[in-house]
């Protein structure tokens, strides 16, 4: 009797696992719980919702034996919201348009240096650890936001799932380490703080910046958008000139 019950339960789960609704509901519930824990902790960087939420979701996928591709297709509806959310960042950017005009030169220099460092450091570290060509290509656009990083990695032969993990780890670690690094470097200007955060930690860092300060959020959004474009332009050149690829 118990064996039949377990078999029916497994059959039901197999059907649900390939349906988008359970993964959508689960992802939203996990994020809401993670956000509640984050706020109750006093906004501790180590408990940012994206980090704790990812840990819980990954644990569930491992326990249930669910492939990442199944989960990704299940939450594809959430991915459609990334575009409108990114466009909405134009609102805080418009409020800072005069300041952006004044800082166009340092912004341009920081963008070029930051983008090149992100690409070359990712390739260098992956190569040093013996990564395959597909692995190197997948991690190269780690500092670009996912809508740009995944197509870039896939186009040049990288693994999209690995690219998604690299982008997520970059955003989470960048957001977690940013407060400490900002204090150590004694950076006071929220525009500089935001641009550095958006350049390195893309959308995850921008979401955090918007919670802290409107100016910081605006410059983080600017850096995220510009770095996405710069990555799309520079990545093919870097891959073509990299001797070990």
Decide if pLDDT at 242 tops 90. no
Burial class (CB within 10 angstroms; exposed 0-12, middle 13-18, buried 19+) of 58: middle
Question: Which pLDDT value is given to residue 16?
Answer: 55
Percent of the chain past pLDDT 70, that is, above it, reads 90
Decide if pLDDT at 1 tops 50. no
Which tokens in the block code for residue 171?
A: 């955003």
Q: Which of 63-72, 107-116, 156-165, 197-206 has the lowest mean pLDDT?
A: 63-72
In the chain, where the domains are located: 1-80, 83-245
Decide if pLDDT at 245 tops 70. no
Q: 10 Å Cβ neighbour count for 210?
A: 17
Mean pLDDT of the chain: 85
Question: Which pLDDT value is given to residue 230?
Answer: 95
pLDDT grade for 87, boundaries at 50, 70 and 90: confident
What are the CA-CA distances from residue 103 to residues 109, 111, 224, 235 (Å)?
10, 12, 16, 25
**What is the tens place of the pLDDT at every residue in 3-25?**
565 565 555 555 555 566 788 88
Nearest to 31 by CA among 60, 47, 53: 53
Phi then psi for residue 18, to 5 deg, are -100, 10
Decide if pLDDT at 100 tops 60. yes
Q: What is the pTM of this model?
A: 0.77
What are the CA-CA distances from residue 153 to residues 5, 77, 139, 168, 199 (Å)?
44, 21, 8, 14, 19
Decide if pLDDT at 40 tops 70. yes
Mean pLDDT, range 197-216, rounded to an integer = 89
Question: Which pLDDT value is given to residue 4?
Answer: 60
Percent of the chain past pLDDT 90, that is, above it, reads 39
Nearest to 162 by CA among 140, 146, 138, 141: 138
Mean pLDDT, range 217-241, rounded to an integer = 92
């Amino acid at each position: 009797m118990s064996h039949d019950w377990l078999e029916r339960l497994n059959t039901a789960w197999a059907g649900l696992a390939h349906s988008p609704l359970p993964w959508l509901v689960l992802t939203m519930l996990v994020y809401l719980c993670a956000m509640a824990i984050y706020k109750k902790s006093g906004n501790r960087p180590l408990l940012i919702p994206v980090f704790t939420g990812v840990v819980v979701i990954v644990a569930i996928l491992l326990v249930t034996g669910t492939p990442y591709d199944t989960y990704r297709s299940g939450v594809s509806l959430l991915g459609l919201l990334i575009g409108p959310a990114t466009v909405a960042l134009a609102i805080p950017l418009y409020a800072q348009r005069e300041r952006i005009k004044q800082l166009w030169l340092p912004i341009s220099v920081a963008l070029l240096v930051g983008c090149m460092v992100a690409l070359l450091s990712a390739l260098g570290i992956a190569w040093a650890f013996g990564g395959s060509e597909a692995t190197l290509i997948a991690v190269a656009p780690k500092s670009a936001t996912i809508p740009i990083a995944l197509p870039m990695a896939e186009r040049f032969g990288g693994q999209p799932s690995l690219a998604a993990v690299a982008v997520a780890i970059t955003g989470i670690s960048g957001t977690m380490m940013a407060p400490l690094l900002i204090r150590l470097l004694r950076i006071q200007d929220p525009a500089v703080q935001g641009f550095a955060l958006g350049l390195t930690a893309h959308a995850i860092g921008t979401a955090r910046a918007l919670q802290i300060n409107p100016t910081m959020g605006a410059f983080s959004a600017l850096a995220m958008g510009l770095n996405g474009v710069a990555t799309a332009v520079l990545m093919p050149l870097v891959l073509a000139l990299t001797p070990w690829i």
